[in-house]
Amino acid sequence: MSDDALAARLEAIESKLDFITEYIEAERRHRREMQELKDDLALVGKDLFQAAVVELDEVAEHFDSKDLLSLLKKLLRNTRHLNRMLDQMSSTADLFEDMKPIGKQMFQELLETLNELDRKGYFTFFREMTGVLDTIVTSYSVDDVRALRENIVSILNTVKSMTQPDMLSSINNAAGFFRKMDIAVQKDVSLTMLIRQMGDPEVRRGIYFLLQFAKSMAGPQNGLTTPR
């Protein structure tokens, strides 16, 4: 074998030995790192175990392995129910996601409606009505409110009678009469003048109406009785 071939072979052997040496060194380094990791994990596990022992010692009197076993059995028996419940929760979440655009639109419409009511003066009206209620509360006592409650039926019946078409027509006619009435009364009204006016049929009808009105007002239905 020539010197050149021998030198080439020795160089190849040295290259392989270098590769083997690097591999062995890498393996040694890897094992050292793994050992260090195991040692660290052992320390951490030891600390966790000691902490778990301390924590579990606090609940030892409230915990029994039988309870844990019973809980596991219940979970296993109700696995289908739990899966169904989770599916429903997922469906509910999807429903909420689908309802978001609709809720946003409804909220926008609500804001527009409130803005329209404010523009028309509804809120101002309600504020003034609150002032009216405050005035009523401060102006009337509890006895007044109690008397109103006891007589509310009579008041409503009176209002109902006044809102009848014939009563409204009479009130309207009377109001129109007083608006148009223009009577000049002389300072000196003689008895002869009164007797002369009695001859007028309209005067007699008016006097008769007044007498009938006074008679009705003095009747028993109005709480007035004739003294004996």
Q: 173-200 pLDDT, tens per residue?
A: 777 766 666 666 566 777 777 777 778 8
The candidate with the shortest Cα–Cα distance to 207, out of 221, 218, 219, 194, is 194
Interatomic CA distance for residues 146 and 144, integer angstroms: 5
Place of tokens 């008397």: 147
Rg of the chain on CA atoms, in Å: 53
pLDDT in tens, 141-164: 888 888 888 888 888 888 888 788
User: Residue 190: left (phi > 0), alpha (psi -120 to 50), or beta?
Assistant: beta
The amino acid occupying position 78 is: N
pLDDT-derived band at 228 (thresholds 50, 70, 90) equals very low
pLDDT at 217: 65
pLDDT at 75: 84
Crossing angle of helices 152-162 and 142-150, in 10° steps, is: 60
pLDDT at 4: 73
Q: Which two tokens stand for residue 130?
A: 């609150």
Q: Which two tokens stand for residue 188?
A: 């000196």
pLDDT in tens, 10-24: 788 888 888 888 888
Interatomic CA distance for residues 147 and 145, integer angstroms: 5
Dihedral angle, C-alpha 53, 59, 65, 70, nearest 10 °: -140
pTM of the model: 0.32
pLDDT in tens, 92-126: 888 888 888 888 888 888 899 989 988 888 888 88
pLDDT in tens, 31-67: 888 888 888 888 888 888 888 777 777 766 766 777 7
